[in-house]
Amino acid sequence: MIRAFFKEYYSWYIQYGVVMAGYLLIFWLYRLPLSYFKMTSLTILTLLILQGFGNYIRFKKKMKILQEFIYVNELNQLNSPSEQAYRSLIIKLKEAEAEAALNQLNNQKNTEALIKMWSHQMKLPLAAMSLMIQTNHTDIKDYQIQVLRLEHYLNNLLSYLKFNQHSDDFRFQVYSVKQLVTSVIKKSSQTCIAKGISIAVDGDWQLSTDNKWLSFALTQIIDNAIKYSKPQGHIKVSIKEGSIFISDNGIGILEEDLPRLFEEGFTGYNGHEHQKATGLGLFMTKQILDKLNLNITISSQVDQGTLVVIQKKHSKQTKFSTSLL
């Protein structure tokens, strides 16, 4: 403690030495009696010792508070302006630390809930394949569809975890939106064939974007259109400069569910009725498109279909309605 004190106040003693050396030089130059110098230096040294003792008591008390405090209100004993400034800084750091810990705890709980929900979701295609094996089902396409579902769920989970950890992992280049859409559709071709769903794509847009994350967002939207389309349904993707329109004639979405579609974990009534879901697809899609400087808007009518519009932010927004379905 004493060593720390001298390290804190060593400048005082250096100043004392400089002052005494100056006095000694003055007394020597003017041939003054050294007895006066001794008296002056002794007086200053006495004041320095008394001041140093008081400083040491306050320093020891302050160090004890800083080393042993548990609750922030214990720092109220620090009264000087500089100590109050340090106290304010410590309070801010503690608040930031508490907020970070709370966020980490919430993220951990969300991840645990997600993995639990995801594990239940994975059981559906696994159970379907198990049943097909038990009944000696031989149509390889049906197995491929279930494998694609497993791959889709796994990719969603991995993408969610990666996005949470590296939400700034974006590399922008100019891509053809039509090529990205076509690539996404090809991955779902087996499911489309099995349900008799046709998909038409027209137009194009040369967009500066991140290939991986925009493809992920498009995959979520197109997969939902396929999943909730009726057998022999039709999906249309119209691409224009600054806009992407994805429409289907599927089961649609309840009007009261539309405002909550982008909430984390929300599946909606139709999502519960037709298939178990994590409710992460559209949530992640919204987050990703925001990062890509794109807006997403959804309109729908039950038993009529759904229209998803993706548009570049800060551009003139295209008006649309469910009459486009």
pLDDT digits (tens, 9 = 90+) for 259-275: 888 887 676 655 444 44
Alpha helices for the chain (secondary structure H): 2-29, 34-68, 81-134, 140-165, 177-187, 189-195, 211-227, 268-274, 281-291
Rg (CA), the chain: 35
Is pLDDT at 82 greater than 70 in this prediction?
no
Q: What does the DSSP 8-state code read for residue 320?
A: -
Q: Is the dihedral of CA 98, 99, 102, 104 positive or negative?
A: negative
Phi, psi of 200 (to 5 degrees): -110, 135
According to DSSP, the β-strands at 243-248 and 234-240 are antiparallel
Query: Per-residue pLDDT averaged across 65-75, rounded?
Result: 59
Residue 193, Cβ neighbours under 10 Å: how many? 13
The span from the CA of 40 to the CA of 48, in Å, is 12
Domain borders along the chain are 2-96, 171-325
41's tokens: 């230096």
Is pLDDT at 277 greater than 60 in this prediction?
no
The span from the CA of 242 to the CA of 284, in Å, is 21
Lowest-confidence segment of 68-72, 108-112, 242-246, 312-316 by average pLDDT: 68-72
- The CATH architecture to which 171-325 belongs is 2-Layer Sandwich (3.30)
The reported pTM is 0.61
Q: Are 312 and 256 in contact (CB under 8 A)?
A: no
pLDDT digits (tens, 9 = 90+) for 22-56: 878 888 888 778 777 778 778 888 888 888 888 88
Q: Are 195 and 153 in contact (CB under 8 A)?
A: no
At residue 30, the 3 state secondary structure works out as coil
DSSP E strands: which ranges in 67-181? 173-176
* pLDDT in the model for residue 241: 93
The span from the CA of 95 to the CA of 82, in Å, is 20
